[in-house]
Structure 1
Amino acid sequence: MKFEDFKAGSWVQQYQYKSFAPIPINQEWNWEDPVINTLLERASRALAELDAFTLIVPDVDLFIQMHITKEANNSSRIEGTQTQMDEAVLEAEQLSPEKRDDWGEVRNYIQAINEAIDELDRLPLSNRLLKHTHAILMQGVRGENKTPGEFRVSQNWIGGSGLNDAAFIPPHQSEVPELMGDLEMFWHNENINVPELVRIALSHYQFETIHPFLDGNGRIGRLLITLYLVNKGLLRKPSLYLSHFFERNRGSYYDALTRVRQSNDVTHWVRFFLSAVIETANKGKETFERILVLRQEIDALTLSYGKRAENVQILMRSLYRRPAITANEAAKLLDVSHQAASALLKKMVSDRNGTYLSFFGCPCVATSARAMDLDWTSSL
């Protein structure tokens, strides 16, 4: 299928509404647009350079966990949650009750990402994996009664209050199994020559158009991008997430998806997607570079703590993964008294005007100030 000849699908009359039936995408794809070739080359190079950093950053898995927390927060915010990045790293009891529901959605997403990535070590990307991930995402939060872990068996819609005023009505539920089966075959079809980044660009569009779940489609669809890149070996670690780019360019993101369905303009969508990969990968590289500088500075400063240097190293490893800790948690982690842990945290807070730690405006919670200087909420 040539992009320039692409027909996105057709509107199908149902009882009192029309749903959109996209064409299957498991086929050969090509294009005439030279801009796509240029963007594809740049995106592939940026992705490879980002991936290389995961081999040279010490204890990279600690930072990947923070990366995952940021992705969970950004992706959930697109869907309307109000949890801030500093709140996402806290425990539920440290938040006011009215914020805990949104916090729960973010925490579910973190768990869903981690389990999905672990599962890829044993199984290839599949609809079964997406269903399992969806079940984790929806447990105990809004949408938990909307058949978590199962493709929908009723009609859904996007925008509006119902089918009569919806902005978009995805395919009828009877079409979902076949369309998702076609999508899964597309991921693994070795008989067609389609670059992996183009495959996942088309796959993300198709997934969001099918909208196979009653709720949570946006988050699963964005996570699909990272799962695909890891599954295909383009990334050794889950180090690229596009949610922040999509959130900052929300209008353009939705417009690009809509233009495919309304105007068959898949070229515009693929351009937009590849541009997102380029910008996000480049920003990720810059953050990894700053992480390396941060680690060198902190390692040098730690030596000045003498006998307490080992405890500082343990604390910092914990803070790299989750940049918030109470004195009680530190005491338990280090197996020291509350007084000793509190004294060490206070010294780390004051050291070099907060090079190590500062407070989140709360005396019981300390966080890595330099990590915040690196702007975890807009970089990694």
Structure 2
Amino acid sequence: MYIRQGGSGLNAGKPVYTPPRGQGVLEAKLANLVTFQNDDKTYRIDPLLKMAIGHFQFEAIHPFRDGNGRTGRLFNIHYLTQKGLLDYPILYLSRYIVEHKEAYYNALAGVSQRGDWQGWLLYMLRAVEETAGLTYEKINHIIAARDAVLSVITSQKGISRPDQLTQKIFTQPVTRVRHLTEDRTYSENTARDYLNKLVDVGVVERKTVGGHHYFINRELYSILAE
């Protein structure tokens, strides 16, 4: 199996890398990767550098016929969460990698072809730095939007526990009645009534699909889509 050059240029389809193959080879290399990532006594390396090295190692092993890129990107965020650098897996490194795909593949090739670890590590550290900044801004925008919506909901007569209602509609961009009733925050009739009130004051937008009502927090949806 070969990894081929993408795109539509002159070199499109040209083999650029041959992953390791052979009986027991993949198993041995994956076992080595797992040991490297989890044995912090033998391999005393900063977690950010370890993430970058481990990501390269996984992509070089290329164990699957499809989905190696997606799996490798998930690997990054979950590793940082496991090591305590993140409380939640919300650092969207995939966006940076996709937007800088050519530099990403060049950096990977730099290691496999020339042993250029510095170029690869700097690429991944820049990805973390820029993504962390964007994520911080996005979180602040969400908090500001939530506070503004809480103020609107609090000003409405007849809505009890406005803070819990606000939290519910900011948990995800699309809310249904059952999201407000599953933990018994509100009864079904109360939840439906409150969501319809939020539609009337422009906090959420109601969409009906297949007879089911969905309430869209447009502000949150817009922030997440940026």
TM class by shorter chain equals: 0.7 to 0.9
Distance 2:129 2:160 in 1: 40
2:195 counterpart of 1:348: no
How far apart, in 2, do the equivalents of 1:252 and 1:262 lie? 15
The one-letter code matched in structure 1 to 2:30 is M
Equivalent-residue separation in structure 1 for 2:120 and 2:5 (angstroms): 24
Please give the secondary structure, in 2, of the residue aligned with 1:366.
strand
SS, match of residue 45 in structure 2: coil
* Structure 2 unaligned blocks of 5 or more: 7-12
Structure 2 partner of 1:181? 31
Q: Which residue of 1 aligns with 2:3?
A: 158
After superposition, give the CA deviation of every residue in 1:349-375 in whole Å (9 maximum; x if it has no partner).
Answer: 342xx3x223579794321122134x2
- Distance (whole Å) between structure 2 residues aligned to residue 220 and residue 330 of structure 1: 30
Alpha-carbon spacing, 1:292–1:169, altered in 2? closer, same or farther (3 Å): same
- In structure 2, what is the equivalent of residue 307 of structure 1? 158
Q: 1:160 to 1:287 in 2, by over 3 A?
A: closer
Q: Between 292-301 and 269-278, report the one with greater CA deviation.
A: 292-301
Cα deviations by residue, 1:24-83 (Å, 9 ceiling, x for unpaired): xxxxxxxxxxxxxxxxxxxxxxxxxxxxxxxxxxxxxxxxxxxxxxxxxxxxxxxxxxxx
Determine the structure 2 residue equivalent to 1:229.
80
Partner of 1:101: none
Distance of 2:69 and 2:213 partners within structure 1: 35
Contact 1:223/1:241 (8 A) holds in 2:
no
Give the drift of 1:165.
5.3
Which residue in the other structure is 2:204 paired with?
357
Stretch deviating more after TM superposition (280-289 or 259-268): 259-268
Residues 207-234 of structure 1: CA deviation (Å, up to 9, x unaligned): 0110123332222211111222122222
Cα shift readout 1:258-284 (whole Å, capped 9, x = no counterpart): 222223222111111000000011111
Q: CA deviation at 1:331?
A: 8.1
String of CA shifts for 1:145-178, please: whole Å, max 9, x gaps. Answer: xxxxxxxxxxx433379xx954422111431111
Change (3 A) 1:177 1:331: closer
Alignment correspondent of 1:49: none
Using the alignment, how far apart are the partners of 1:350 and 1:159 within structure 2? 54
1:255 and 2:106 correspond: yes
Report if the CA contact (8 A) 1:207-1:221 is conserved. Answer: yes
Structure 2 Cα separation of the partners of residues 208 and 165 of structure 1? 18
Measure, in 1, the Cα distance between the counterparts of 2:41 and 2:146: 42
Q: State the partner residue of 2:50.
A: 199
Displacement after TM superposition at 1:243 (Å):
0.6
Following the alignment from structure 1 to structure 2, what is the Cα–Cα distance between the partners of residues 157 and 296? 52
Q: Which residue, out of 118, 141, 165, partners 1:267?
A: 118
Following superposition, the deviation at residue 304 of structure 1 comes to 1.5
Q: Is the 8 A contact 1:331 1:337 kept in 2?
A: no
Hey, what's the Cα distance between the residues in 2 that align with 1:361 and 1:272? Answer: 45
Question: More deviation in 281-290 or 267-276?
Answer: 281-290
Residue pair 2:153, 2:166 contacting (<8 A) in 1 also: no
Q: How does 1:48-87 map to 2 (within 5 A)?
A: none
Q: Does 1:376 align with 2:224?
A: yes
Partner of 1:288: 139
Distance 1:293 1:165, change over 3 A: closer
The CA RMSD over aligned residues, in Å, is 3.0
Q: CA deviation at 1:313?
A: 4.6
Name the % identity: 28
Paired residue for 2:41, among 183, 190, 204?
190
Tell which has more relative contact order, 1 or 2 (C-alpha 8 A, sep 6+): 1
Superposition map of 1:54-133 within 5 A: none
Is 1:168 aligned to residue 13 of structure 2?
no
Match of 1:367 among 188, 198, 216: 216
Write the distance in 1 (CA, Å) between the matches of 2:3 and 2:165.
Answer: 45
Structure 1: gaps (5+ residues): 1-155
